[in-house]
Amino acid sequence: MNIVHTIWSSLLVIQRGIMILSSSLILLGLGVTVVLRYVFQTGLHGLEELIIIPAFWMYFIGAAYGTYKKEHITADILSVYLKGEKKRLWLKVIISLINCSLISIFAFWSIEYIIWSINSGAHSNVWKYPMYIPQSSILVGFGLMTLYTFVDLVKGIVNLYRYKT
């Protein structure tokens, strides 16, 4: 149980690290672009190509962290009118089940995509880095979202079971 706990919290620490690092790199990169162009009348070709990497990692790790923090936008009209704790618990389980199954489908499709990308040898124009470097952020993001929605589902079922007994 201790190991699971350690892995769980390390995952969160790593995500926070990636978010801080990637957004700092983007800020720096763009700042340098402005200074180079305006002050030195020149530019580092392919810098925007490099910025794509932290950008995508910020987007998808952010999305995963948002899932953990339950920050995804919801219309949530039914729960206002739903009477009774048991019905609410059931609704939570159903929603978690829908979320988890949908995102796992997309996580699976992104595995296929990354495998294709690795085999295709797709690379960027200027720096020639492999495209799976930014692209794999989608797989990692969707993977983590699957994990968090799954844990949510399990929690929901446990709560429902506890309420019944």
Residues 164, 158: Cα–Cα separation, whole Å:
10
Shortest Cβ 17–another protein spacing (Å): 10
Residues 6 or more apart in contact with residue 152 via CB below 8 angstroms: 96, 99, 100
- Comparison of 6 and 37: residue with beta carbon closer to another protein: 37
Shortest Cβ 26–another protein spacing (Å): 7
Residues 106, 104: Cα–Cα separation, whole Å:
5
- Comparison of 94 and 158: residue with beta carbon closer to another protein: 94
- Comparison of 20 and 154: residue with beta carbon closer to another protein: 20
Shortest Cβ 110–another protein spacing (Å): 5
- Comparison of 23 and 159: residue with beta carbon closer to another protein: 23
Shortest Cβ 160–another protein spacing (Å): 16
Shortest Cβ 139–another protein spacing (Å): 9
In one-letter notation, the amino acid at residue 14 is: I
Residues 6 or more apart in contact with residue 129 via CB below 8 angstroms: 53, 123
- Comparison of 52 and 157: residue with beta carbon closer to another protein: 52
Provide the H-helix boundaries in 78-164: 78-81, 85-120, 132-164
Beta carbons within 10 angstroms of residue 72's beta carbon = 11
In one-letter notation, the amino acid at residue 148 is: Y
